[in-house]
Every structure is written in structure tokens, then in C-alpha cells.
Copies of this chain bind each other. A is one copy, B any other.
Amino acid sequence: MRRLGRVRPLLPLLALGLFLAHAALAAAGGAGAIDMLPVLEALALILVLARLGGALFERFRLPAVLGELAAGIVLGNLGLVGFHALDALKTLPTVEAFAQIGVLFLLFQVGLQSDVAKMAAVGLSATLVAVLGVIAPMLLGLGASEWFLKGHHVLAHWFVGATLAATSVGITARVLGDLGRAASVEGRIILGAAVIDDVLGLVVLAVVTGLIQAADGGLAFTAMGLAGVVGKAVCFLVLSVVVGRWLSKVTFRFAARLPGEGMLLSFALAFCFAVSFVAGKAGLAPIVGAFAAGLVLEDVHYEDLRARDPQRRELHRLLEPLAGFLVPVFFVLMGMGVDLSVFGNPDVLGFAAVLTVAAVLGKQACALGALGKGTDRLAVGLGMIPRGEVGLIFASIGRTLHIGGERVVDDVVYSAVVVMVAITTMVTPPLLVWRMRSGRAAPVAGSRDSSRSS
């Protein structure tokens, strides 16, 4: 403030200068550029609210991610109290894209903390956990649906069961990261199983969807179409595990010979985006690709590049600010997607409660699959609880399907799935925190990892 006197020479000129700016830019409005102002407003709000929410929850020793979700729920439901000024924020595709890149960064970070060998070491456990974690909730969901929704077609019940199958790896990864436990045995089992049951869930969905479409006399369930899909998926597997590893080594060796700065981060990000793109092309979620990219990219590949950085920063240090910027955007947006008004419908609430119980108890069967002495089986079962975007995608597909003239997923079922996703997402962080903090295994020293930004 004291120095303001020295700014004075600039002021009249700036004032004069600014004075017609608006007219000019208003005229330029049609010049084809995208309107960044709503995006800037949304990002500023989301960043501040995410941190405030996170800080509030940390005050109560709960993970920050829960606070970010809560901030999103508040932001997304201001309309319920008559405040509609921010409604436009919910539908900005640019902000949505930022969030999607954020969750890619999160899974890339998680992948970086592990490698193929470490994941393979828990491979059997993860596979068993995943299989049990798909079968048990599906059967419980099927039962819940048959009991609650009398008169629906049996395939519709199976469809409801399928929506309970897939664990949301994003939220699990984040909570483990917040606890510094992503690299523990339990952490690796959960992450490996979450990836596998993401895939298994999609298989189940595709089979049930195919059967429904065949039953409804629509599209045929052909072996040829499946063969093409299998081919693509196998290609992705080969690319990501075998070629990806070789490519990572070659790419970073090449980059190390280029002059200039910033090579490590740019090539690592390009690698992450490229593998995510290939995963998407193979029909998988891009986040599975980002995780695979992190998994095959090993420290030794970029040792030469890192040596050139004056501070010898590791890749995960460079990723921290990127994740710190974008990951909270993802979780706030996830919270914004929760529509609190469905909680007002008793039909929805009843079915949602049953579904949620099925979802939570079903995943506890996972505990049986976690092998190895000293593995905290309850922690694994709790870590598998959250359902996320995959469940919502399933439900939205169900709304487009019909069987015997009825929608497979009607409004009540859809809302109940949304509530189930919200509750499983919300209860997991505190449960997992409680179990991992009071559980047998103490956090690995020095393993506080980087899924949290700084």
C-alpha cells in the first residue's frame, strides 16, 4: 500500500487505456475463440471450495477427498435452496475435460508407484479378490432386485446386479494415496483387483446387455463381433505390458539425448496420454491406460533425463503440482453429479438402502480372496466398496435398453443406483481410514506417496 504512490505514473494511462477495451472485445466476441470466462470462474471456485472442504474434513482426521466430494455436493445442489447462479458450472465441457485429465494423472501416479513385477506378485490375490468381488455383489444385487422389484424381467434383475460389480479405482487410489498406503500389500491387491474387476464388470455388462438385446429381438449377440473386440483388447494388453515397457525405455533414452529442458515431464505425459488413448481405442476406460502407463514406466528408464535436472526431481515430484491442480477438480465434479433431491423419494430410498447393503456386504466376500499371511483382509474388503462412474455408466446404459416394452432401468432404479454410488463412495474413506490406521500393518516408513499434491 505504501508503494502505491510509485504506481501513480501508470494509473492515468492505464485508466485511459482500459477505457474502451470492453467495446473492442465485445465486438471480438464472435471471433471464434472459446469463451474462457466461465471456465476461469468455475476453476477458481472449484479449487478454493475443494481445499476448504478438504481442510474441514482433515480437521476431523478424515481424508481430504471426502471434503472435496462434499464441496462438490454442496456446489451441485445449491439449486435446492433456490440459488441458481452457478448452475451453468455443472455443464462446462472444458471443466469436465480438465477433470478427466486429472483422474488420468491420479491413476498415472498410482501406476508409477508400482511396477509390473510388484503387481504380478499380488496377481493371484488380486484376481481372486476381483472375481469374488464381482460375483458376490452381483448375486446379492440380483436377489435384492427380485425381492424389491416384483414383476420385472429376470434379465432386468441381472442388469441391476451388474451395476454393483465394478469398484471405482479412482476413489480407492486416492484414499490409499492420502494414507500413504498405495504401495502396501493391501493397497496393491485392492488396486490390482479394482482394475481387473473394472474389466470383469464390463464383460458382465456386455453379456447381460447382449442377452437383453437378443431377448428383446434387437441386435444379435454375434460371435464375430466379440472376436473383433477380443482382438483389440489383446492388442492393448500386448502393447501396454510388452511394447509399452520397451517403448518407455526407448523413448526416454531418445529424449535424454535431446537438448533443452522439460523433456522428462513432457515425454512422460505424452506417454501417459498415448497409452490412455490406445486403451480407449481398445474399448477400455482411458484411466486403465493411464494406470498401465505408470506401471510400465520405471525409474531406470528416465535416470539420464533426471540427472539433467538441476534438482534431480523424480517424475512423481513433477507430477505433484499437476495432480494438485486437476485431481480435486475431478472429485468436486464427482460430488456435483450427486443430486440430493432423489433422497426425498421413499421408493428410491428403500431400494437404494437395499442396493447399498448388497454392494457393501457383497464386496466383503473379497476378503476371502486376499491370500498371504499378515494381509489385512478386512482392509481389502473395505477398500473394494466404492462404486463410481462405472456403476453410473452401467445405469445410464440400462436406461436406453428395453425388455418386454419396459425400460430395464427405470427412474426408481436409476436414482437408487445414483444413491448407492454416492453412499459407497462416501462411506469408504472413513471406513478405510479407520481400518488402516487401527489395523495391524503400520504405514510403511517413508512411503508417504504423492497422490496428494503439495
Contacts and interface: CB of A to CB of B under 8 A. Distances in A.
Nearest to A221: B23
Given A209-B23, A259-B55, A233 B37 contact: no
Interface string A133-167: 00000000000000000000000000000000000
Interface residues of A, number: 135
A21 B203 contact: yes
A262 B396 contact: no
Given A34-B93, A233-B15, A4 B203 contact: no
Interface string A70-87: 000000000000000000
A24 to B, nearest CB: 4
B283 A25 contact: yes
A226 interface: yes
B266 A22 contact: no
B196 A10 contact: yes
Interface of A: 1, 3-4, 6-11, 13-28, 30-34, 36-37, 39-41, 43-45, 47-48, 50-52, 54-55, 58-59, 64, 93-94, 96-97, 100-101, 104, 116-117, 119-121, 123-124, 126-127, 130-131, 192, 196, 199-200, 202-203, 205-207, 209-210, 225-226, 228-230, 232-234, 236-237, 241-242, 245-246, 255, 258-267, 269-271, 273-274, 276-277, 280-286, 309-311, 313, 318-322, 324-325, 328, 393, 396-397, 400, 452-454
A431 to B, nearest CB: 20
Given A7-B120, A117-B6, A25 B285 contact: yes
A32 B399 CA distance: 13
Contact of A20 (B55, B100, B226): B226
Given A25-B202, A44-B277, A261-B453, 17 more contacts: A7-B241, A10-B120, A18-B229, A18-B234, A18-B282, A21-B282, A23-B206, A25-B283, A33-B393, A40-B273, A40-B277, A44-B269, A44-B271, A51-B267, A262-B324, A265-B324, A321-B321
A127 B19 contact: no
A265 B120 contact: no
Chain A interface, >50% SS class: helix
A4 B284 contact: no
Contacts of A94: 93-94, 97
A51 B260 contact: yes
A322 B400 CA distance: 40
Contact of A321 (B34, B54, B232, B318): B318
